[in-house]
Amino acid sequence: MEVLSKREQIDEILASPDTPEELSRKLELVQEARQFSIAELGLPDNKSYRTYADLERDYVVWNVFAAPEFSLDARRWCYPIVGCVSYRGYFSEDAARKQAEKLSNKGFDVAVGGVPAYSTLGKFSDPVLNTMMRWDDLHLVSTLFHELAHQVLYIKDDTAFNESFATAVEEIGIERWLATNGNDHDMPRYHERKELHRTFIDLVSEARRDLRDYYNREIGAEEMRRLKAQRLEKLSADVGAVLKAAGQADNHWLSNELNNARLLPMTLYEERVPAFRKLYADCDADLECFYRQAVTISELDETERNTRLDALSQTISNGS
């Protein structure tokens, strides 16, 4: 209710002489990207992201992630409408941290992360938030595409499917946006950023594979803790080296100690992206076909759905 009650029409904000110049520029960009999302990406033409809300805080929600000490299976929470998801969101940072403390006291690895963007999946007319305005232009536009993609397709009880689909639409959308609206430097900069992110994801995925192997061994808790700590220390060093080479040594991801819960969000948003990109390629880059095929897969039961996505990913691995 707070988010919705603070909405103001973007056109009215732009018409006000009191609106700061940079905010006006960003909101004009939002309007351009919103029209592009409809005309070029086939995303919903509705009232979402036609308004702006200043929440007067850094994040709109704080997500709590949790996993057992010796497992990478996320603790799940279930809700009406959206089903079960692998995190619990709070509009209050204090409430989120209290929940994290309770879970930690029960032996879970926990992580709390502030989230600048927020979507009601089209149930309400979501505004653009002040928490999104600190991003650069590419990040802002790509996030709009990501959140609108959830309104095209969202299924209950499968966070990895939903977030990976939205991430794939985000990537496709920003590539098309840059081809139309970018300058000579934007596309190389975008691809450099994506390559760095992929390297980051690969390092996390390798660490997750090793940790799963450790957690499946029949060894004592102390030895398990030693192996876990050793592998997470190596991941921290590897990521730190990559970020330093990219001039991002102060990246916030390494500001807190790594644990199982800290690794969860990375794979939830990226795990199925290669499969969706292959689906898009199989549709000859036709978004209408891509959306239709993604919906068809979403209607399968969980086992069949995962088998189909695994098969799409496997064709990439085999070079087909």
Residue 78: is its pLDDT beyond 70?
yes
Q: What is the pLDDT of residue 187?
A: 81
CA-to-CA distance for 201 and 188, rounded, in angstroms? Answer: 20
CA-to-CA distance for 81 and 54, rounded, in angstroms? Answer: 27
Of 104, 24, 21, 27, which is closest to residue 64 (Cα–Cα)? 104
The number of residues making up the chain comes to 320
Between residues 277 and 84, which one has the greater pLDDT? 277
Q: What is the pLDDT of residues 15-30, one digit of tens each?
A: 999 999 999 999 999 9
Cα(first)–Cα(last) distance of the chain, in Å?
49
Q: What is the 3-state secondary structure (H, E, C) of 78-128?
A: EECCCEEECCEEECCHHHHHHHHHHHHHCCEEEEEEEECCCCCCCCCCCCE
User: DSSP state, 51?
Assistant: E
Confidence of residue 33 (pLDDT cuts 50, 70, 90): very high
Q: What is the pLDDT of residue 183?
A: 75
Q: What is the pLDDT of residues 274-318, one digit of tens each?
A: 999 999 999 999 999 999 999 999 999 999 999 999 999 887 655
What kind and span of H or E run contains 61? strand 61-68
Q: What is the pLDDT of residue 118?
A: 82
Dmax (CA) for the chain in angstroms is 68
Q: What is the pLDDT of residue 249?
A: 63
Q: What is the pLDDT of residue 315?
A: 75
Token pair 């600048």 is found at: 116
Chain centre distance of CA 13 = 29
